[in-house]
Structure 1
């Protein structure tokens, strides 16, 4: 992460002003009493967790969310000490004691996790803040309804003993990005039932939450006490079939910018890149872009990935290699060092992350998150 001039090779430009505006837009979609958790897992979806977390808090987020405890502890180590942080993807032997000392809210999805966090509380002499996660139909992490009474009961016993405080009850949608999918109503019914059981048993949660980015945008009945936008905060639509980023009032935060490392003229019939899957149809100019799959450029976008060079969209010619790919410039005179804009907000006619997702048969979440560490993040509007 840098604010000094980056190498000409490539940079990921992160617009913190756009991120703050997105957080405010998302806040405006929920009732004033509903809190917002800014999800900054996976290094803030490739955007830089510390800088994005601070910007989100400045814009009104009350919570931060990470997947792993190590991500959450890194935020604390960076000086983010006051915000509530929920981390949810724990494995046996993870640093529960460190999480307690750091004041994290820690998700518990099963009895093994409750046992480990209770033991850590005994060792540290401090109660742990925990949130019980319910599997309402996603089938990943979370406690099954059949096992919920045991988990709730044992958590309440630990709370009575002063070892834990149950601060939240929560779950996660499977198909919120497909409005009208029957699983949405089913999961809400199961979630309400599991909430009712826990609260009647004596749990008094600070927050109840299930809404991810698409649910924040399209399912007001799922907002409860808190929403957890992730990809939407970075200006990428979680449901392109339903609406673009602009349709939701969001602006993409990341622009991926490279430079043309070499321009050369080649004859017709010239093979390009590994396997010669592209052969020049006639005499032309080729431009070398020094980014490859080691930088997160999807190899699946070979032959299809769009790049703005000059005033025209070019396509990846042949295979994306580890460190570079080629575009056919069609005979245009382009200088070495010219800008190659892979994706951005689209203001200049450049491709977007969604365009790359379509070229690679994936989702835009993956496009921004996979941009590698050797591409420096450069922050603007900080």
Structure 2
């Protein structure tokens, strides 16, 4: 059965260009210089691109630091590395892990984010019960108000206390910009100042840690925030961390994912007839409509019906009618030689299409790639 599945011709698929991924990593690595490391953020299945394949490709490109959201993601990643005889990578969990998992964290040398003395104590006690200690990165809340030691409330004292627990092995310290996608926002400078102040105070008290605060947007706009390490997320996958993004002055990114499908049916819809659920769309004249086997269950959400579409060759075919769970319809009137089986591109190398879809859905490109469902196979190319 497994061999048969591999041979199946897919109706809708996402092509993942690992060579483009490696080029994007190298561009970031070259930008930050030799004194700084790149932590590759591969949480949420590498933003929908496939964490295991992407992370091992990044390892081949030189990456050794990786960030995920959960212990489940970390263990899957560790297993993928070990199956390829890759053993020297460092994996950090950015989110919460129940302290009861301390022995698992220690066994697989997975770094855990610590964001309060209470959590640090619970994690340390759990580790001590198993005769082990957990590598940790302390998170400082400099304004995001999500997780972290409060930068305005004895953060230095509390981090030093947490670092003293016997089940804790301090390794790093980090924070997260709230507005780095708005380069001119004064909050960015305020957060960096707070973070540097705390890091300096800890060093003066004898606690020297690997420091990192820059995400994708800050990597490109704020070199003074590169510090010991940066966390590269969306830019690894060739997408813009904000818009407008002047690549000529910073990076030349290549989108890693191209979402494709095929035409399953072509027919004429006459003037006055209706298309799809709710009978919300009716052409004023006869049109040629193509059905595409992709819908909101695949991540091609209903919001896209208000201006979305697909490319057939160089021609854009707009969505007509409501997007269904498994299918959608596009107007191919005037596009020559459209046939069943023809390949269509939903998004890919044309960055303007991704911008258009994000604007239509009132969201960001991060969400669009993360939405692509599990039933859409990822086809990896070099």
TM range (shorter): over 0.9
Q: CA deviation at 1:328?
A: 1.1
Note closer, same or farther for the CA distance 1:247–1:266 as it changes in structure 2 (3 Å cut).
Answer: farther
Shift of 1:48: 0.4
CA offsets per residue over residues 276-295 of structure 1, 9 Å max, x none? 22212211111111111110
* 2:290 matches 1:287: yes
Higher helix share: 2
Q: Structure 1 residues 294 and 286 mapped into 2: Cα distance closer, same or farther (>3 Å)? A: same
1:267 pairs with 264, 267, 270, which one?
A: 270
DSSP-derived class of the 1:184 partner: helix
1:156–1:202 contact (8 Å) kept in structure 2: no
Structure 1 residue 156 displacement after superposition? 2.8
**How far did residue 151 of structure 1 move?**
2.7
How many positions carry a matched residue from both structures? 374
TM-score, with structure 2 as normaliser? 0.93
Corresponding position of 2:361:
360
3-state SS of 1:134 partner: strand
Alignment correspondent of 1:278: 281
The structural deviation recorded for 1:150 is: 4.5
Q: Is the 8 A contact 1:235 1:253 kept in 2?
A: yes
Structure-2 change in CA distance of 1:51 and 1:282 (3 Å): same
Cα distance, 1:344–1:174 mapped onto 2, change above 3 Å: same
Match of 1:200 in 2: 204
Does structure 2 retain, via aligned residues, the 8 Å contact 1:40–1:64? yes
Q: Evaluate the alpha carbon distance shift between residue 289 and residue 262 of structure 1 in structure 2; reply closer, same or farther with a 3 A threshold.
A: same
* Structure 1: gaps of 5 or more residues: none
**DSSP 3-state at the match of 2:189:** helix
CA–CA distance in structure 1, aligned partners of residues 250 and 269 of structure 2: 43
Partner of 1:231: 234
Deviations 1:354-382 (A, max 9, x none): 2321222211111111100000000000x
Pairing 1:148–2:155 present:
yes
Is the Cα–Cα contact under 8 Å of residues 302 and 317 in structure 1 kept in the other structure?
yes
In the aligned structure 2, how far is the partner of 1:120 from the partner of 1:245? 50
Tell me which of 121, 132, 146 is aligned to 1:126.
Answer: 132
- 1:73 Cα deviation from its structure 2 partner: 1.1
Judging changes above 3 Å, is the alpha-carbon distance between structure 1 residues 244 and 307 closer, same or farther for their aligned structure 2 residues? farther
Match of 1:7 among 6, 9, 27: 9
**Alpha carbons 1:96, 1:116 under 8 Å: kept:** no
Query: Counterpart in 2 of 1:176?
Result: 180
TM-aligned CA deviation for residue 94 of structure 1: 5.9
Decide whether the 8 Å contact of 1:284 with 1:330 is kept in 2: yes
Correspondences of 1:243-258 after superposition (within 5 Å) = 243=246, 248-258=251-261
Unpaired segments ≥5 residues, structure 2? none
Superposition pairs of residues 1-382 of structure 1, within 5 angstroms: 4=6, 7-80=9-82, 81-92=87-98, 95-145=101-151, 146-158=153-165, 161=166, 163-205=167-209, 207-243=210-246, 248-330=251-333, 332=335, 333-346=337-350, 352-381=353-382
Distance 1:351 1:266 in 2: 29
CA distance in 2, matches of 1:312, 1:247: 31
1:311 is displaced (CA, Å) by: 3.4
Kept in 2, the 8 Å contact 1:342–1:351? The answer is no
TM-score (norm 1): 0.93
How far apart are 1:11 and its partner, in Å? 0.7
